[in-house]
Amino acid sequence: MIDYMDINQEVKEALFEGKGVVALESTIVAHGMPYPENIETSKRVEQEIRKNQCVPATVGVIKGRIKVGLTEDEILYLGKAKDVVKVSRRDLPLVIANKLDGATTVAGTMIAANASGIKIFVTGGIGGVHRGAGETFDISQDLEELSMTDTVVVCAGVKSILDIGGTLEYLETKGVPVFSLGTKEFPAFYSRQSGFFLEDALKDEEEGAKIILAKEKLELKGGMVIACPIPEEEEIKKEIMDSYIEQALKECKVKGKEVTPFLLSRIKELTEGKSLKANIALVINNAKAGGRIAKAYEELKRKDAR
Ligand code: PSU
Ligand code: MN
């Protein structure tokens, strides 16, 4: 994979020096948020990572090259271009062979992060088991990727456009550790509450870092999910969100990888932009936590090596 990848100089140096590096995805830029909010959010997220003395590495594909650490211009390009492929595991061979532009999903970003030696990855929400998956078999590639690729995904949980209980069951079956920060309740992206509880809460970011290092030393394959509830003042309550989500799901006529972008943009219209505002706030909050985790993880590794 390394032959098809360009890791930017700053990221390379940070990895070499054992400075924290945090991967970021580009599907959220190209398909998850409208322009110009997508670009502004991506900048603010990168700044948030830097506040913890870590280096951000936004991942995407430009003309068939996997870029780890996109430049500002490259992010702008992916955020404005119309024919950007949404790239999960199965899309990588095609975009590389045909030298296309691609925005990487959680799954796609995990693959590139892992290949370049980045452990921690911050995003908004992960894909999951869709409602009605028993009939449609629509389960995000993100979950399978979490079972096999060693990247820690910091997110705000799973949107209730998905089957949250089903998603947690799936992750359990695949042996993926799942935690939420400061609470046992797994958050539902726009809302802090989901009604689904985990066995343990993470006390703080340092505990997260300790568990990540323990998993690594145990040589257990696969990723980890650390969910951060959206800040209280930014959340949209579950009761309010549920009705909008029901309506968007009813109107959804597309299939496959178009489902998630459709639902996100329809919910934005139905909530008159409130969902987008919440989405921006939660990604920035995740970046804050992710930066702290990455920093703590590097410190622990240094101590451990002594
Ligand atoms: N959730 C969001 N915004 C997003 C996505 C999820 O709130 O942009 C994107 C992520 O890149 C995720 C992908 O990996 O959607 C999942 O798509 P699918 O459900 O088609 O697997
Ligand atoms: Mn799907």
Ligand 1 contact, 141 CB (< 6 A):
yes
Q: How many domains does the chain have?
A: 1
According to the 3-state scheme, what is the secondary structure of 113-124?
A: HHHHCCCEEECC
pLDDT digits (tens, 9 = 90+) for 166-186: 999 999 999 999 999 999 999
pLDDT digits (tens, 9 = 90+) for 87-146: 999 999 999 999 999 999 999 999 999 999 999 999 999 999 999 999 999 999 999 999
**Beta carbons of 195 and 167 less than 8 angstroms apart:** no
Nearest to 209 by CA among 288, 146, 298: 298
Per the DSSP assignment, residues forming a β-bridge with 62 are 65
* Interval between CA 260 and ligand 2 midpoint (Å): 7
Owning domain of residue 227: 2-305
Q: What is the DSSP letter of 100?
A: -
* Interval between CA 257 and ligand 2 midpoint (Å): 5
Q: What is the pLDDT of residue 160?
A: 84
Ligand 1 contact, 124 CB (< 6 A):
yes
Ligand 1 contact, 12 CB (< 6 A):
no
For residue 44, give the amino acid letter: R
| Active-site residue, from 12, 119, 159, 288 | 159
Of all ligands present, the nearest one to the C-alpha of 34 is 1
pLDDT digits (tens, 9 = 90+) for 197-249: 999 899 999 999 999 999 999 999 999 999 999 999 999 999 999 999 999 99
pLDDT digits (tens, 9 = 90+) for 136-145: 999 999 999 9
Q: What is the pLDDT of residue 117?
A: 97
* Interval between CA 202 and ligand 1 midpoint (Å): 24
What's the distance, CA 173 to chain centroid? Answer: 21
> Residue 192 belongs to a domain with what CATH number?
3.40.1790.10
What pLDDT band is residue 150 in, cutting at 50, 70 and 90? very high
Q: Which atom of ligand 1 is nearest to the CA of 259?
A: 20
